[in-house]
Homo-oligomer: A and B are copies of this chain.
């Protein structure tokens, strides 16, 4: 029995997220189907994380066990041959038998892309979120610092999935301006449901002058979901990297 680790890029626009669901196109289902087509085996593909409908990934990690003589690095090509163009296996390799894409994961980096101008992008419309009001990136960068460290992020999650603790450690939050695009990179040991998209909403309000940078600390301390405001739309979000 081999344990195969895949690194995957996907455009989430046309999928109801990673996780298999009845009557919905999902990334997990597409890849399991492709593996079945090429190897004849039904595998249970373990993803590093759920991602929501419309969310993208550039280096998503998944793993699966398989009885097969195919060398680990060959899976890239044989699976890609059976996948739609919006899902691509970047690499495949045989991993240690105890490697588990979800439980072995020690951290992740997400990137949220904002387009800050008056009109949406024609070319990047599915991988950026339009904010028409002028954003002050320096203020946002200052606000980013308040997220760093270990905090109870109760205010920054959508209820629904049960978690043992709402304490998470954020390693880094950095912001980059590239022409009219603003990219927010968030790295941490783990994330609550919708956490990044709620954090981005707070940063946007700081950028618009509706909140002060130090209000981030107050919102975290309040543990009050209502204070953190809306969940920003999925198309701006991309799972960028996963650490083991």
Instruction: Give A contacts to B, CB under 8 Å.
Output: 9-11, 56, 58, 76, 80, 85-91, 117-123, 125, 127, 238
B residues near A125, Cβ cutoff 8 Å: 11, 85-86, 88
Distance in Å: Cβ of A116 to nearest Cβ of chain B: 13
Note all chain B residues with C-beta closer than 8 A to A87. 122
Are A85 and B120 in touch, CB under 8 angstroms? yes
Residues in B whose Cβ lies below 8 Å from that of A118? 76, 91
Given contacts A56-B123, A76-B118, A76-B119, 10 further A-B contacts (CB under 8 A): A9-B121, A10-B123, A11-B122, A11-B125, A58-B123, A80-B119, A85-B122, A86-B125, A87-B122, A123-B127
Could you pull out 7 A-B pairs where Cβ atoms are within 8 angstroms? A9-B123, A10-B122, A11-B122, A85-B120, A85-B122, A88-B120, A89-B119
Considering only CB atoms, which chain B residue lies closest to A87 in the complex? B122
Cα–Cα distance between A80 and B88 once the two chains are bound (Å): 33
Contact at B122–A9, with CB atoms within 8 Å? yes
Min CB distance A57 to B, Å, is: 9
* A13 nearest in chain B by CB position: B123
Contact of A88 among B10, B58, B119 (CB under 8 A): B119
Given the complex of chains A and B, what is the CA–CA distance between A204 and B127 in angstroms?
Answer: 28
Taken together as a complex, chains A and B put the C-alpha atoms of A10 and B56 apart, in Å, by 22
Which residues from chain B contact A91 at a C-beta distance below 8 Å? Answer: 118
Residue of B nearest to A58 (CB): B123
Of all chain B residues, the one with the shortest Cβ separation from A76 is B119
Judge whether B9 and A88 touch: CB under 8 Å. no
Q: Which residues of B contact A56 (CB under 8 A)?
A: 123
Instruction: Quote the shortest CB–CB distance from A36 to chain B (angstroms).
Output: 20
A90 and B119 CA atoms in complex are apart in Å by: 6
Q: Which residues of B contact A80 (CB under 8 A)?
A: 119
A237 to chain B, nearest CB (A): 12
Q: Give bound CA distance, A126 to B56, whole Å.
A: 15
